[in-house]
């Protein structure tokens, strides 16, 4: 197995101070099913993290083949102390289901009910039936991308954003350069003597946006970073004085897009949904065979023309512009992404145990509760209840204010 920095190397370091509660550690039963949706190759736990959790007294059930595409075969999980299940049925009977993608309709039907689901939510891919099916089974569900760390940030979103930002620049470079299909610009990202570099516009100065800026700059392209927050732009320019920065405004965005070769959307969601900052008219005015990559698509997307794509069919054209809108971009580098996920999820599971189990933890840990969207079948997010016309309740009413 390749060398990597993982949770185990920091597991025995001093932990951040937690609210003192009179709780006895709970033993958890955790199921890791094989992913079947959208060419998902990632897994939430590495064999090394599984070994630590098993040593702590937890039971881990891994579906056969779950980690194969990420470079973690069954034998590594078996040697780490996990039970290898031949099929999904046994896994979906576990008290806690931990998976990357939200469960499919068929997977929900295999759940016995009253369990805890830990997965990404990927709001853009959800519909009313998804929440209704989980509610009917009295499921408690946590959205991984909404769980916070001690700095009130989404640790998982930050890790996946770093990966997605790098990938966006590299995928964009490939889509610009590939002229073999007759529908590409055939353009190199970096300059050569006498030839100007590609023009890249990055929307959003968060983790994903800055990662994309670094990668695009590293390839020699001309990069413009845009954000609505002047302080973020100032901080980015202090790190890279040569970087061009501009505030997101409709006319300014439209002007930049007219000459852009590659546009990367990397905006943060607001109340669960990414703001749409690029109109269809602005996209229609772009040069033919320019490229749009919408990292924000898992939260709705920031381009008016954004539509979900998959690793099997990653692109489509609209107004002559190539769109790449895959919500699980990091799955393409499943090994790296699995390690990054495990470094976040394994300590999260330990916290659930240390605070007495799922229910007690949700009472006392507000960072964990930030990811809660279903509690025993009841929606706890107003924007979800209103959007999908389902009953909801504020989590503070369910657990009491602390």
| pLDDT per residue of the chain (402 residues) written in tens, 0 to 9 | 334 444 444 443 333 344 444 557 899 999 999 998 878 999 999 999 999 999 999 999 999 999 999 999 999 999 999 999 999 999 999 999 999 999 999 999 999 999 999 999 887 778 999 999 999 999 999 999 899 887 777 878 888 999 999 999 999 999 999 754 556 899 999 999 999 999 999 999 999 999 999 999 999 999 999 999 999 999 999 999 989 999 999 999 999 999 999 999 999 888 778 999 999 999 999 999 999 999 999 888 999 999 999 999 999 999 999 999 998 899 999 999 999 999 999 999 999 999 999 999 999 899 999 999 999 999 999 888 888 898 988 888 888 654
Three-state secondary-structure class, residue 137: coil
What domains, with CATH codes, occur in the chain? Answer: 7-153+332-399 (3.40.50.720), 158-327 (3.40.50.720)
- Residue 24: other Cβ atoms inside 10 A: 10
| 376 Cβ neighbours under 8 A, 6+ residues apart | 114, 138, 139, 140
- For 238, the token pair is 């202090």
Output the pLDDT for position 3: 40
Sheet containing 315-318: which strands, arranged edge to edge? 244-247, 222-227, 199-203, 262-265, 291-294, 321-324, 315-318
Q: Phi and psi of 262, rounded to 5°?
A: -135, 130
- Which residues lie below 8 Å from residue 20, measured CB to CB, with a gap of 6+? none
The answer to whether the CB of 33 falls within 8 A of the CB of 66 is yes
- For residue 374, give the H/E element and its range: strand 372-375
Q: How far apart are CA 346 and CA 268, in angstroms?
A: 25
Express each pLDDT in 231-255 by its tens digit: 999 999 999 998 999 999 999 999 9
Planar angle of CA 114, 119, 125, nearest 5 degrees: 105
Contact 147, 348 (CB under 8 A): yes
What burial letters (b/e) apply to 235-255, b meaning 16+ CB within 10 Å? Answer: ebeeeeeebebeebeeeebbe
What pLDDT is stored for residue 255 in this prediction? 97
Q: How many CA atoms lie within 13 A of 135 on its CB side?
A: 17
60 has which bridge partners? 30
> How high is the pLDDT of residue 374?
96
Q: What is the pLDDT of residue 399?
A: 82
Distance of alpha carbon 50 from alpha carbon 60, whole angstroms: 7
H/E segment holding residue 379: strand 378-379
Structure tokens at 400: 């009491």
What is the spatial order of strands in the sheet that 140-143 belongs to?
A: 83-85, 59-63, 29-32, 96-98, 116-119, 140-143, 372-375, 378-379
Strands 244-247 and 378-379: unpaired
DSSP-based three-state secondary structure for 8: helix
Question: Is 338 strand, coil or helix?
Answer: helix
- What is the reported pTM? 0.82
What mean pLDDT, rounded, does the chain reach?
90
Token representation of residue 381: 């997010």
CA distances from 145 to 5, 35, 137, 156, 356 (A): 22, 18, 23, 6, 23
Predicted pLDDT at 182: 54
């Amino acid at each position: 197995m390749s060398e990597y920095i993982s949770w185990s190397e920091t597991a025995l370091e001093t932990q951040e101070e937690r609210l003192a509660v009179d709780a006895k550690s709970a033993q958890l039963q955790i199921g890791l099913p094989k992913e079947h949706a959208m060419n998902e190759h990632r897994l939430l736990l590495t064999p090394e993290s599984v070994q630590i959790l098993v040593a702590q007294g937890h039971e881990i059930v891994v579906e056969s083949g779950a980690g194969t595409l990420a470079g973690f075969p069954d034998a590594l999980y078996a040697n780490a102390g996990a039970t290898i299940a031949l099929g999904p049925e046994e896994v979906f009977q576990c008290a806690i289901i931990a998976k990357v993608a939200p469960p499919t309709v068929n997977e929900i039907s295999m759940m016995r009910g009253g369990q805890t689901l830990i997965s990404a939510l990927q709001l853009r891919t959800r519909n009313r039936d998804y929440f209704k099916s989980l509610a009917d089974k009295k499921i408690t569900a946590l959205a991984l991308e909404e769980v916070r760390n001690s700095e009130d940030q989404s640790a998982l979103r930050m890790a996946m954003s770093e990966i997605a930002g790098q990938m966006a620049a590299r995928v964009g470079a490939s889509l610009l350069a590939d002229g073999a299909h007759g529908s590409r610009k055939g353009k190199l990202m970096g300059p050569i003597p006498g030839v100007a570099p590609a023009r890249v516009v990055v929307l959003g100065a968060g983790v994903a946006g800055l990662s994309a800026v670094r990668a695009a700059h590293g390839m020699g392209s001309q990069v413009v970073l845009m954000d609505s927050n002047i302080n973020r732009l100032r901080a980015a320019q202090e790190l890279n004085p040569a970087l061009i920065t501009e505030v997101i405004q409709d006319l300014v965005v439209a002007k930049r897009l007219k000459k852009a070769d590659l546009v990367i959307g990397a905006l943060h969601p607001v109340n669960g949904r990414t703001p749409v900052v690029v109109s269809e008219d602005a996209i229609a005015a772009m040069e033919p065979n320019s490229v749009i990559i919408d990292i924000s698509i898992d939260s709705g997307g920031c381009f008016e023309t954004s539509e979900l794509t998959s690793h099997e069919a990653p692109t489509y054209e609209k107004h002559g512009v190539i769109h790449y809108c895959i919500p699980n971009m990091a799955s393409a580098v499943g090994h790296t992404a699995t390690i990054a996920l495990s470094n976040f999820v394994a300590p999260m599971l330990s916290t659930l145990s240390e605070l007495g189990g799922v229910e007690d933890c949700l009472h006392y840990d507000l960072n964990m509760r930030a990811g809660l969207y279903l509690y025993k079948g009841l929606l706890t997010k107003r924007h979800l209840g209103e959007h999908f016309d389902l009953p909801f309740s504020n989590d503070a009413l369910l657990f009491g204010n602390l």
